[in-house]
C-alpha cells in the first residue's frame, strides 16, 4: 500500500511505479462527515441515517444497522470492542459485496402467479460439455447449470445401438453419449441446491414406444412423488412456482401412438397437438379407455400379438400421464399456432430465426400467445461452437424460456446471467405487468411502439480494486501496471440501447475514474446494465479485466460495490468496482 513500489525490468533498466493507496473518494468522505456531524467515529444510529438517506433503504431498525456494522467489523477487525466505524472502516464496509452489493439477494417477486407469467432460466442441450458437433455428453454440465440456478434442463433422447437402452446425445452428430439414468439421477440430487422452485425437463424424444415405457419406469423410480403430474380435470392454468416448489416437471410431445389412437377417435387438435382427455389422466380408467381406443378384449388370452399391443398402448398412456407440460407444433403455420384457444396451456418452441421473423410480422400475436402459453426460443443450428443469440427480442415478446448454451461464454450469456441475478437468483423472474395485461379493447403491448422516457438511471464510477490479488503482476503488461478503463452498455428495447466509456487511467492497479453517466430508459423493466473493464493496449487487442450485468429493475440506489466476473460468468475473488446508482 502506501510507500510500496512495483519494479519492472525494461531493456536492462528497472522502472519503478508507485502503487496508489486505496483512499475513499470525496463523495464517501462527504457522506461520512454529514452523517456523523464531522465526528471521527460513526455510531450505529449514524450508520442507520446513512442507510436511509444515502442508500435509499426504508425503515431500517437501529438493531439491524448495528448488526450490519458488527458483521462488517468481523471482516476486517475481528477483535473489535466498540461497534463504531472510522472513515477507513466505513470505506472498507462499502467494498463488502455481501453486505453492500448492487442488487438484493432475496426472492422478492410474487411467486403465486401461473408459470407463464415468469421468465425462466433455461438451458439448451444441457448435457454438452462443449461444441455441438463432437464434444462429450455428460451429467457434469447439467449439475453446473442447476447449481448456477438454471431451472429448465434439456435432454435429447435417442435409442442406443442395440435399441434396448436410452442415450442422451445431440443426434446425428459425433457427440459421445451419456446414459439417461445418470442424467436423471444428477437432476434429482442437484435440482434444488440453489433454488426451491420447480425444475422443468424438456425432452427431445426420438424413442420407440417400448423405450418410452422405459423412460416412464426410470422417471417414476428416480423422482417418485417429486415428479409433478397434472390432475384429472384440473384447471386450465399452469400452477405457480410457489405451488410447484421442490417439484420436477416433464415437458415433451405426446407419444405418436397415443396421438394416432386419438385421431382415430376423432378428437380435436390444438396447435397441431391434441388435448389430453381428462379420463386418460385417471389411472383407474386406463383399461376402459384403452379398450375403447384399440378395441382389445382384456380377457382374451388367445391372441398374444394383441396382448402385446395392449401392453404397448398401456405403456404409452402411462408415459403420457407423466408429461406435465405438453409441447405444441406449428403444424398449420405459425400464425395459426399463435392464436390462443381454450384448453390447457401448451409449450411452443421456435428457433431464433423463426422468432425474429414472427416478431417482424406479428409481434403482438406473440405477446398475446405468451399470456396463456409458454414460448421457448432456442439457438439456430449453425451455432456449432455453442455460441448464443441476444435474448432481448425474445423477452420483449414475452418468451418465458430463452434456451442458452450454458457451457459456452460470451456477451449474450453475460446478459442471461444478468437477467437471472434478479429475484434472488432463484431462476424465476416475474414478467413486467405490461406483458401480461390487456387494454379495454383487448390490445396488448406492442414491442414496435415508440415510447416516452419513463426513468433515468444516473451511474457514477468511482474506482476499482482487486486485480493485484486475482491476476499476476505481468498479466496485463509485462513492464508496467495496467491502464484500466470501464465501458457500460445499456441493453434493452432498441430505444434504450446505448454505451458509455470512462477515460483510461494509466499505470495504476487501483484506477480512480470518478466519472458520472446518465441512461434515459423507456422500458426499465427489461433493461440490463452491462459493465466491462478492459486494459488498454496500444499494439494489441485490449485485455479483459472483468464484467458483470445488472438488471436495472433490481439495482439498489446509493454507493455500492459491484463484484466483477470472468468471461464464463464466475465471480472473481477480489475484483470490484465502487459505484453510485441514482434514479430520477
The CATH number covering residue 34 comes to 1.10.238
Count of C-beta atoms within a 10 Å radius of residue 19: 16
The pLDDT score that the predictor gives to residue 6 is 53
Dist. CA 425–CA 430, nearest whole Å: 12
| 495 and 358 share one domain | no
For residue 295, name the pLDDT band (cuts at 50, 70, 90): very low
Q: What is the largest CA-CA distance in the chain?
A: 98
Q: What percent of the chain is helix, strand and coil (3-state, nearest 5)?
A: 35, 25, 40
Q: Which residue has the cell 417400448?
A: 210
| More confident of the two residues 268 and 32 | 32
| 462 and 390 share one domain | no
Which of 404, 431, 458 terminates a domain? The answer is 431
Q: What's the CATH number where 542 sits?
A: 2.60.40.150
443, part of any domain: no
Write down the pTM of the prediction.
Answer: 0.89
Dist. CA 51–CA 37, nearest whole Å: 16
| 275 and 354 share one domain | yes
CB 469 within 8 A of CB 572: no
Edge to edge, what strands does the sheet with 558-565 contain?
498-501, 484-491, 528-535, 543-551, 558-565, 571-583, 455-465, 512-521
For residue 16, name the pLDDT band (cuts at 50, 70, 90): low
Listed range (217-231, 251-265, 556-570) with the worst mean pLDDT: 251-265
477, part of any domain: yes
Above 80 in pLDDT, residue 530?
yes
* Average pLDDT in the chain: 88
Listed range (319-333, 379-393, 412-426, 429-443) with the worst mean pLDDT: 319-333
Which of 100, 130, 150 terminates a domain? The answer is 100
CB 559 within 8 A of CB 55: yes
CB 348 within 8 A of CB 369: yes
| More confident of the two residues 297 and 338 | 338
Q: State residue 225 phi and psi, 5-degree precision.
A: -80, 0
| 144 and 87 share one domain | no
Dist. CA 54–CA 419, nearest whole Å: 26
| 457 and 357 share one domain | no
Mean pLDDT throughout 27-40? 96
| 288 and 242 share one domain | yes
Q: State residue 351 phi and psi, 5-degree precision.
A: -75, 165
The pLDDT score that the predictor gives to residue 282 is 36
| 546 and 426 share one domain | no
Q: Which residues contact 508 (CB under 8 A, 6 or more apart)?
A: 20, 481, 482, 483, 484
The pLDDT score that the predictor gives to residue 409 is 83
Q: State residue 382 phi and psi, 5-degree precision.
A: -80, -5
519, part of any domain: yes
13, part of any domain: no
17, part of any domain: no
| 364 and 251 share one domain | yes
Q: Which residues contact 529 (CB under 8 A, 6 or more apart)?
A: 418, 457, 459, 488, 489, 490, 491, 519, 549, 550, 552, 555
In a 10 Å sphere around its CB, with 0-12 CB exposed, 13-18 middle and 19+ buried, how is residue 50 labelled?
buried
Quick one: cell of 332? 398449420
| 215 and 256 share one domain | yes
511 three-state secondary structure = coil
Above 70 in pLDDT, residue 527?
yes
4, part of any domain: no
Mean pLDDT throughout 373-378? 97
CB 456 within 8 A of CB 518: yes
Q: Which stretches within 374-514 are classed as H helix?
A: 392-396, 411-419, 433-436, 467-470
Above 90 in pLDDT, residue 408?
no
Above 60 in pLDDT, residue 174?
yes
Strands 323-328 vs 248-252: parallel, antiparallel or unpaired: parallel
The torsion angle over the Cα atoms of residues 429, 55, 71 and 551, rounded to 10 degrees, is 20
| 250 and 290 share one domain | yes
Dist. CA 311–CA 48, nearest whole Å: 70
Percent of the chain clearing pLDDT 90 (strictly above): 78
| 213 and 294 share one domain | yes
Strands 528-535 vs 543-551: parallel, antiparallel or unpaired: antiparallel
Quick one: cell of 167? 442415450
Per the structure, the count of domains in the chain is: 3
Q: Which of 117, 124, 326, 397 is catalytic?
A: 124
Q: For residue 142, which of 158, 160, 123 has the smallest C-alpha distance?
A: 123
> What secondary structure, in 3-state letters, does 172-194 show?
CCCCECEEHHHHHHHHHHHCCCC
| DSSP structure string for 522-554 | S-GGG-EEEEEEEE--SSSPPEEEEEEEEEGGG
The pLDDT score that the predictor gives to residue 131 is 96
The pLDDT score that the predictor gives to residue 312 is 60
Q: Which of 109, 117, 170, 397 is catalytic?
A: 170
The pLDDT score that the predictor gives to residue 237 is 86
Has 170 been annotated as catalytic?
A: yes
Above 70 in pLDDT, residue 442?
yes
Dist. CA 516–CA 345, nearest whole Å: 47
Q: 62-76 and 44-53 helices cross at what angle (nearest 10)?
A: 100
DSSP annotation of 227 reads B
The pLDDT score that the predictor gives to residue 273 is 37
Which of 431, 458, 484 terminates a domain? The answer is 431
The pLDDT score that the predictor gives to residue 272 is 41
Mean pLDDT throughout 469-481? 93
314 three-state secondary structure = helix
Quick one: cell of 184? 436423471
> What is the Cβ-side half-sphere exposure of residue 472, based on CA atoms within 13 angstroms?
6
Dist. CA 464–CA 578, nearest whole Å: 6
The pLDDT score that the predictor gives to residue 290 is 30
105, part of any domain: no
Listed range (4-8, 178-182, 443-447) with the worst mean pLDDT: 4-8
CB 485 within 8 A of CB 504: yes
Q: What's the CATH number where 124 sits?
A: 3.20.20.190
Question: What is the per-residue pLDDT across 115-153, written as a single tens digit (0 to 9) for each?
Answer: 999 999 999 999 999 999 999 999 999 999 999 999 999
Count of C-beta atoms within a 10 Å radius of residue 384: 11
| 79 and 207 share one domain | no
Question: Which residue range is the domain that position 95 belongs to?
Answer: 26-100
CB 420 within 8 A of CB 551: no
107, part of any domain: no
Dist. CA 28–CA 48, nearest whole Å: 15
Termini Cα distance of the chain: 38
Dist. CA 415–CA 428, nearest whole Å: 15
Q: Which residue has the cell 475513499?
A: 24
Amino acid at each position: 500500500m502506501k510507500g510500496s513500489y512495483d519494479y519492472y525490468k525494461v531493456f536492462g533498466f528497472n522502472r519503478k511505479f508507485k502503487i496508489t493507496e486505496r483512499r475513499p473518494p470525496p463523495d464517501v468522505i462527504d457522506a461520512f462527515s454529514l452523517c456523523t456531524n464531522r465526528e471521527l467515529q460513526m455510531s450505529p444510529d449514524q450508520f442507520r441515517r446513512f442507510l436511509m438517506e444515502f442508500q435509499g433503504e426504508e425503515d431500517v431498525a437501529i438493531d439491524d444497522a448495528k448488526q450490519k456494522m458488527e458483521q462488517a467489523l468481523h471482516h476486517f477487525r475481528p477483535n473489535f470492542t466498540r461497534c463504531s466505524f472510522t472513515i477507513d472502516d466505513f470505506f472498507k464496509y462499502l467494498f463488502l459485496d455481501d453486505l453492500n452489493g448492487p442488487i438484493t439477494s432475496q426472492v422478492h417477486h410474487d411467486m403465486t402467479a401461473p408459470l407463464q407469467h415468469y421468465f425462466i432460466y433455461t438451458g439448451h442441450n444441457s448435457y454438452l460439455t462443449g461444441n455441438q458437433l463432437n464434444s462429450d455428453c455428460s451429467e457434469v454440465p447439467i449439475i453446473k447449470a442447476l447449481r448456477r440456478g438454471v431451472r429448465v434442463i434439456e435432454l435429447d433422447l435417442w435409442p442406443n445401438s442395440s435399441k434396448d437402452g436410452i442415450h442422451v446425445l445431440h443426434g446425428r452428430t459425433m457427440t459421445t453419449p451419456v446414459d439417461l439414468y445418470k442424467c436423471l439421477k444428477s437432476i434429482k440430487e442437484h435440482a434444488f441446491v440453489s433454488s426451491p422452485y420447480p425444475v422443468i425437463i424438456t425432452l427431445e424424444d426420438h424413442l420407440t414406444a417400448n423405450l418410452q415405457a422405459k423412460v416412464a419406469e426410470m422417471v417414476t423410480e428416480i423422482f417418485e412423488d417429486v415428479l409433478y403430474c397434472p390432475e384429472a380435470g384440473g384447471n386450465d392454468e399452469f400452477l405457480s412456482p410457489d405451488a410447484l416448489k421442490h417439484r420436477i416437471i416433464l415437458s415433451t410431445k405426446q407419444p405418436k401412438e397415443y396421438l394416432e389412437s386419438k385421431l382415430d377417435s376423432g378428437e380435436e387438435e390444438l396447435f397441431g397437438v391434441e388435448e389430453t382427455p381428462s379420463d386418460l389422466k385417471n389411472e383407474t380408467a386406463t383399461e376402459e379407455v384403452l379398450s375403447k381406443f384399440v378395441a382389445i378384449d382384456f380377457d382374451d388370452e388367445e391372441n398374444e400379438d394383441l396382448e402385446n399391443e395392449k401392453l404397448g398402448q398401456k405403456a404409452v398412456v402411462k408415459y403420457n400421464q407423466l408429461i406435465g407440460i405438453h409441447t405444441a407444433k406449428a403444424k398449420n403455420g405459425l400464425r395459426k399456432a399463435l392464436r390462443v384457444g381454450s384448453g390447457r396451456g401448451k409449450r411452443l418452441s421456435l428457433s431464433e430465426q423463426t422468432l425474429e421473423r414472427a416478431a417482424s410480422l406479428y409481434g403482438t400475436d406473440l405477446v398475446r400467445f405468451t399470456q396463456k402459453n409458454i414460448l421457448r426460443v432456442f439457438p439456430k443450428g449453425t451455432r456449432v461452437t455453442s455460441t448464443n443469440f441476444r435474448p432481448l427480442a425474445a423477452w420483449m415478446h414475452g418468451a418465458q424460456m430463452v434456451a442458452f448454451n450454458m457451457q459456452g461464454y460470451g456477451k449474450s450469456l453475460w446478459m442471461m446471467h444478468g437477467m437471472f441475478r434478479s429475484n434472488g437468483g432463484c431462476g424465476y423472474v416475474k414478467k413486467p405487468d405490461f406483458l401480461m395485461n390487456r387494454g379495454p379493447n383487448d390490445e396488448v403491448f406492442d414491442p414496435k411502439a415508440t415510447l416516452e422516457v419513463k426513468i433515468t438511471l444516473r451511474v457514477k464510477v468511482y474506482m476499482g480494486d482487486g486485480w493485484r490479488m486475482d491476476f499476476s503482476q505481468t498479466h496485463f503488461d509485462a513492464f508496467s501496471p495496467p491502464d484500466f478503463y470501464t465501458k457500460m452498455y445499456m441493453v434493452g428495447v432498441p430505444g434504450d440501447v446505448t454505451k458509455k466509456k470512462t477515460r483510461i487511467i494509466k499505470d495504476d492497479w487501483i484506477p480512480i475514474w470518478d466519472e458520472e453517466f446518465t441512461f434515459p430508459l423507456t422500458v426499465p423493466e427489461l433493461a440490463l446494465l452491462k459493465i466491462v473493464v478492459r486494459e488498454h493496449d496500444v499494439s494489441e487487442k485490449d485485455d479483459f479485466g472483468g464484467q458483470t450485468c445488472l438488471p436495472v429493475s433490481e439495482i439498489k440506489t446509493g454507493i455500492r460495490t459491484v463484484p466483477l466476473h470472468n468471461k464464463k460468468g464466475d465471480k472473481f475473488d477480489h475484483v470490484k468496482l465502487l459505484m453510485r446508482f441514482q434514479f430520477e
